[in-house]
Structure 1
């Protein structure tokens, strides 16, 4: 196990009806808030009215930035920064899923910065401050409600880049599982894929002597497998939605399940190039890429893939070679994603091979990807081709 330091300052407020605590929490950060949300589903569900009522009750004036894209655009982030600066806004409130939360983090980081917030994502500058951020989560997926990461798309450059800053942790996040009842089947699927791959990125490593962390990862994976289909079949199943929501939060919150372990993240970088160019859902891209990354790298530490197959997918290793067991586990992963309705090939989302080399070159623009197996441009291109 590696040495580590772990700290997470986000306050999690979990359970049915917790939106009623929003106003009290937000009031600690001033009397002007930028309310950030997506395509308007929060208005259809009544959440929008609840949020405005809470803010008004506690004397907070709300300014709005609607229309955050599924792959949030830098141009939209710029709009939010301008609204905050022109109106002296000191608090950002994100109401939505991971895309809304990511855009809100970028806005919060960008307001006190004199340059372009994109500098952070291109590693040209380091954030020194940010506006305080609160969130109300409506989609179980990214873990953005309890981590310091955000991913933004520069559509003009076809670049999708992530940035981590200690200043981007939400001050509080309200997690009410009932707010996810209206999430459709496909988004439930993509959320489950996203949170599972977050765990995979931490689980597949070469760090020795980490039995606790490995079992934490495995328990989250099994809980997602047990609850994702239930949530699809019965959207208002509180237990299923609550378990998925907590899994998403625990899967990626700065290291709670993986302290002391190396991490990979190559597959996320590979997928980012797909959604930066083709604007596909992040979870859809991961459901295509990740099983093929597995197939490309599993021999680097086959015993971890055997353990994964046995512990997560309950595959009986009796009389089988390690190779066969590992491959069964990879196939079980692919089959589960398919069973949720997520795609397994690039062809299914209308992507061919014409821009593979371009995407592979961009993916390694900051250097080789990953830790489990260092991937150069040729490796990334090979994974794209396995995904066709």
Structure 2
């Protein structure tokens, strides 16, 4: 167990019909908000009206800033910063999934910064202050509602970079599982993949010899998420399954599960961000493409842990550690297929050749340097990508 300091300053308001309370919480941070949302689905499903009525009920003025897209763009975030400054807003309200919240964080950080907000993503500048951020989560997956992480894409360079900063933790996040009942199974699948890999990155990469708290935390939540997805596939409107997954996804990436671990990194997210930048593919889909190949490449380095994963998550008890490890990887890949998430470039209809492999490898190396991940060479990156074809 390594020394650590853990602070999670986000207030979570969880339950049915809680969105109508957002105005009350916003009033604690000012009387004028930048209201950030996506492509308009919150208008068709009624969430927009609930939020607007709550804000108006508390006398809060708001400036709408719609148009955030999946794999949010830094160019759109920059325009949002300009709007926020011009309107002199006091805080930001993000209503949507991880993409909306991530872009809202960029706007919050860029509000006080005179340079290019992309500097934060390249790790050439540090955030010293940010506007307060409140969120209404509509699509659980990223954990952005309870962490300081943010990911943006630059459409000109095809780079998708992310970072974590304490100033970007939301002040308040409202999680109402009832609004997730209509999420299509395809996007639910991508969401559960993302949440699982948030838990398993630290699980597989940490360098401690005995970490039962963190390992059981990860295994238990992954098993829970798998169980939730099975129930959701049987009945997409199963409230308890949706609610349990919503909270599990938040717990998967809020710092608790990795606290006390040493040597952790996020190699699968490293690769997936680059795929998302080049192909504009859903993040969870990018992860399910990368993870089986990465596991097959790396399991020999920590065979015991991969075998433990196989036994404790999938109940695989037969064979030596090597056989169990491989069986666990196979079971995980088959689960991706079962829920409808792609497990190869071919599955996702992504074209790739040797030239593209080289281009992807260069970008993975660049982001690895920013994230201080030193173990991968250009050759090993290409080898992993080839296992994903």
Counterpart check, 1:300 vs 2:301: yes
Which residue in 2 is equivalent to 1:95? 95
Task: Between 114-123 and 349-358, report the one with greater CA deviation.
Answer: 349-358
Which residue in 2 is equivalent to 1:214? 215
Which residue in 2 is equivalent to 1:364? 365
Which residue in 1 is equivalent to 2:323? 324
Which residue in 2 is equivalent to 1:68? 68
Mapped to 2, the partners of 1:190 and 1:353 lie a distance apart of 22
Which residue in 1 is equivalent to 2:337? 338
Give the secondary structure class of the aligned counterpart of 2:136.
strand
Q: Quickly say closer, same or farther: Cα 1:369–1:381, change in 2 above 3 A.
A: farther
Task: Between 333-342 and 365-374, report the one with greater CA deviation.
Answer: 365-374
Mapped to 1, the partners of 2:292 and 2:376 lie a distance apart of 16
What 5-or-longer segments of structure 1 have no aligned partner? none
Runs of 4+ with >3 A deviation: 366-373
CA deviation map 1:337-382 (0-9, x unaligned) = 1111000110122223321111111111155699999221111111
- The alignment's TM-score, normalised by the length of structure 1, stands at 0.97
Which residue in 1 is equivalent to 2:10? 10
- Mapped contact 1:266–1:369 kept (Cα < 8 A): no
Mapped to 2, the partners of 1:207 and 1:24 lie a distance apart of 44
- The alignment's TM-score, normalised by the length of structure 2, stands at 0.96
CA deviation map 1:265-305 (0-9, x unaligned) = 01111111111011000000000101111110001110000
Mapped to 1, the partners of 2:159 and 2:69 lie a distance apart of 15
Mapped to 1, the partners of 2:372 and 2:68 lie a distance apart of 33
Q: Quickly say closer, same or farther: Cα 1:188–1:346, change in 2 above 3 A.
A: same
Which residue in 2 is equivalent to 1:56? 56
Give the secondary structure class of the aligned counterpart of 2:347.
helix
Which residue in 2 is equivalent to 1:196? 196
Mapped to 1, the partners of 2:167 and 2:372 lie a distance apart of 26
- Mapped contact 1:360–1:381 kept (Cα < 8 A): yes
Within a 5 Å distance, the mapping from 1:225-240 to structure 2 comes to 225-240=226-241
Q: Note the C-alpha offset of 1:193.
A: 0.3
What 5-or-longer segments of structure 2 have no aligned partner? none
Q: Quickly say closer, same or farther: Cα 1:370–1:126, change in 2 above 3 A.
A: closer
Q: Note the C-alpha offset of 1:46.
A: 0.5
- Mapped contact 1:27–1:58 kept (Cα < 8 A): yes
Counterpart check, 1:245 vs 2:250: no
Mapped to 1, the partners of 2:2 and 2:298 lie a distance apart of 23
Q: Note the C-alpha offset of 1:119.
A: 0.6
Mapped to 2, the partners of 1:370 and 1:74 lie a distance apart of 19
Q: Quickly say closer, same or farther: Cα 1:371–1:295, change in 2 above 3 A.
A: farther
Which residue in 1 is equivalent to 2:386? 385
Which residue in 2 is equivalent to 1:36? 36
Which residue in 2 is equivalent to 1:289? 290
Give the secondary structure class of the aligned counterpart of 1:352.
coil
- Mapped contact 1:12–1:175 kept (Cα < 8 A): yes
Mapped to 2, the partners of 1:240 and 1:44 lie a distance apart of 24
- Mapped contact 1:206–1:372 kept (Cα < 8 A): no
Which residue in 2 is equivalent to 1:77? 77
Q: Quickly say closer, same or farther: Cα 1:127–1:372, change in 2 above 3 A.
A: closer
Mapped to 1, the partners of 2:380 and 2:232 lie a distance apart of 36
Give the secondary structure class of the aligned counterpart of 1:298.
helix
Q: RMSD of aligned C-alpha atoms?
A: 1.5
Mapped to 1, the partners of 2:82 and 2:235 lie a distance apart of 42
Within a 5 Å distance, the mapping from 1:79-158 to structure 2 comes to 79-158=79-158
- Mapped contact 2:123–2:370 kept (Cα < 8 A): no
Q: Quickly say closer, same or farther: Cα 1:370–1:60, change in 2 above 3 A.
A: closer
Q: Quickly say closer, same or farther: Cα 1:260–1:105, change in 2 above 3 A.
A: same
Q: Quickly say closer, same or farther: Cα 1:246–1:369, change in 2 above 3 A.
A: same
CA deviation map 1:100-139 (0-9, x unaligned) = 0100000100111111110100111000000000000011
- Mapped contact 1:206–1:301 kept (Cα < 8 A): no
Which residue in 1 is equivalent to 2:274? 273
Counterpart check, 1:186 vs 2:181: no
